[in-house]
Amino acid sequence: MASSLQTCVLVVVLFALFSIQTTTSASHHHRQHEVKSIHFALFQHETINKTGFFIVKGVAGPGITQTTTPFGTLFAFQDPMTINANRSSKVVGIAEGTSITSSLDGLQSISIAKITLRLKHHSGSISIVGGTHNTKPSDHPVVGGTGGFTFVQGYVTSSPVNLKGLTVTYKIEFHLYWPPYATQLQKTS
């Protein structure tokens, strides 16, 4: 009698342990599905000698053309970002940063930028860094953010839309992901 009771208790305990374990892994699984993300595109407009300036002249390679800059060129910008390709459309962001020509053919640079965004549900800034190709789409990792973008991860893809004339336009596609601890922080703050 006693031993069958023990067996029964053991079974109950084992069953309880087993169900705790499955609940834990289920909730872990559930949390991974909770990763918040947003995907959208804006258009960055850069006007030479107005929102973008050459600061240091490069030292080698091709000269300054519509698509190339000499190796070592340091360029700084503070460009408006609008909701569509028309420069007159609504401005919802500002990209501030620098790029340094890093390939000897004058086509690629290392870019560092802080992008301040005022979206309907999110305000703050994201910081990006990475290589930019002057004529092809380039992915830039998001290294972090502030405000509503604190701890944000992901990447932005920059693609030239119009490289002719004094104002050049790039399409910037944002792929932003908030890790679970970032959404928890937002709930508690």
* Least distance (Å) between residue 87 CB and ligand NAG: 7
Q: Which residues in the chain belong to E strands, given as ranges?
A: 36-47, 52-56, 74-82, 91-101, 108-118, 123-133, 138-147, 153-162, 167-178
* Least distance (Å) between residue 122 CB and ligand NAG: 25
Nearest CB to ligand NAG, comparing residues 5 and 166: 166
Nearest CB to ligand NAG, comparing residues 37 and 86: 86
CB contact at 8 A, 103 and 95: no
* Least distance (Å) between residue 169 CB and ligand NAG: 11
* Least distance (Å) between residue 77 CB and ligand NAG: 13
Nearest CB to ligand NAG, comparing residues 3 and 88: 88
| Per-residue buried b or exposed e for 37-48, using 16+ beta carbons within 10 Å of the residue's own CB | eeeeebbbbbee
Examine residue 65 and tell whether it contacts ligand NAG (CB under 6 A). no
With CB under 6 A as the rule, give the number of residues binding ligand NAG: 5
Region 140-169 residues binding ligand NAG, contact defined as CB under 6 A: 166
Residues 20-59 vs ligand NAG: string with x where CB under 6 A?
----------------------------xx----------
CB contact at 8 A, 169 and 86: no
- Closest of 105, 95, 96, 98 to residue 67, by C-alpha: 105
- Looking at this protein, which amino acid is placed at residue 76? A
Region 106-145 residues binding ligand NAG, contact defined as CB under 6 A: none
Whole-angstrom distance, CA of residue 55 vs CA of residue 71: 13
Nearest CB to ligand NAG, comparing residues 63 and 179: 63
CB contact at 8 A, 70 and 60: yes
What residue ranges bind ligand NAG (CB under 6 A)? Answer: 48-49, 86, 88, 166
